[in-house]
Copies of this chain bind each other. A is one copy, B any other.
């Protein structure tokens, strides 16, 4: 079942229902529950979901609880789940602090942190789309000492069945990576937007590079603040490195030949960006072992299917990385 029927929770509810799973959703907002009930009544008979009136009603017979709430709401929900004995996962963009919360607050359940790299400019149940996860990368945290591998495989099986690519990483590896590719980019976009405050000429001249470079600055500020603060040690480390690179650019601009001084780093940046997104190589089979799975995640690989009986997963790696290694 899904707690909170926003974009991610609502999409997940519909995607699982469409695949024949019995699903129950809950949202703290009565209007959202009413919208979801109306949509459920209109859905095809084989894709129906239920909407519960309380968290306790929603989790009563659930084998899996998906917490699709933003980070600041997690402590309250974990409290309600203290005595729930099943499998629990979440979808927030920070995994170390959430793991720590779950360890402290969940007495009986098994927790595996998750993070689908899916989003839209719009949010809410009305934006929900059962195809949202098709092809998206979905991090599932794996701690070789603490995670139950059977539980991890249950979740990985479910998520790959939605068409998502499951990326096995530790919580700390996840947090370092998303600081680079999501949290710090939001701060760079905000700094760029702030550069045109009080400068209407700049705003009038701004075109493509400003538009794209500042786009995510328009995100609700409380969401950016919460995700950066929730991952602050990794965000500070990455931000520090990015500032260091910008300091280098500033020095290079002051060199005798600034064009020549700037070239090497700009060339590396250009070839790196041109090689993105990574192209997957051929699928391979891997044995189901935590160390093997984590090594796959570390080289940018992912899982597209789980074969529990043969104890194998189908794995993909970026082609460039496979050729280099």
Chain A contact surface mostly: helix
Q: Is A64 interfacial (CB 8 A cutoff)? A: no
Decide: A221 and B266 in contact? CB cutoff 8 A. Answer: yes
Decide: B277 and A242 in contact? CB cutoff 8 A. Answer: no
Q: Tell me how far the C-beta of A131 lies from the nearest C-beta in chain B, rounded to whole angstroms.
A: 16
Decide: B225 and A259 in contact? CB cutoff 8 A. Answer: yes
Q: Which of B118, B139, B194 contacts A272 (CB 8 A)?
A: B194
Q: Which residues 151-173 of A have a CB within 8 angstroms of B? A: 167, 169, 173
Measured between beta carbons, the chain B residues less than 8 angstroms from A209 are 181-182, 185-186, 189, 215-216
- CB-nearest residue of chain B to A120: B208
Measured between beta carbons, the chain B residues less than 8 angstroms from A225 are 258-260, 262-263, 266
Decide: A273 and B218 in contact? CB cutoff 8 A. Answer: yes
Decide: B204 and A269 in contact? CB cutoff 8 A. Answer: no
| This chain's copy number in the assembly | 2
Measured between beta carbons, the chain B residues less than 8 angstroms from A226 are 259
Decide: A181 and B167 in contact? CB cutoff 8 A. Answer: no
- Decide: A253 near B269, CB < 8 A? Known: A185-B192, A242-B191, A321-B200: no
Q: Which of B208, B273, B300 contacts A119 (CB 8 A)?
A: B208
Measured between beta carbons, the chain B residues less than 8 angstroms from A273 are 189, 193, 214-215, 217-218
Q: Compute how far the CA of A270 lies from the CA of B190 in the bound complex, rounded to whole angstroms.
A: 7
Q: Is A301 interfacial (CB 8 A cutoff)? A: yes
Decide: A195 and B241 in contact? CB cutoff 8 A. Answer: yes
- CB-nearest residue of chain B to A241: B195
Q: Is A311 interfacial (CB 8 A cutoff)? A: no
Q: Tell me how far the C-beta of A227 lies from the nearest C-beta in chain B, rounded to whole angstroms.
A: 10
Q: Which of B180, B205, B213, B274 contacts A199 (CB 8 A)?
A: B180
Q: Which of B137, B194, B242, B258 contacts A204 (CB 8 A)?
A: B137
Listed by A's residue number, 21 A-B pairs whose Cβ atoms lie within 8 Å are A117-B207, A118-B207, A167-B205, A174-B205, A180-B196, A182-B209, A182-B210, A186-B209, A193-B269, A195-B245, A196-B276, A204-B300, A209-B216, A214-B269, A217-B269, A218-B274, A221-B267, A224-B270, A225-B262, A228-B262, A239-B246
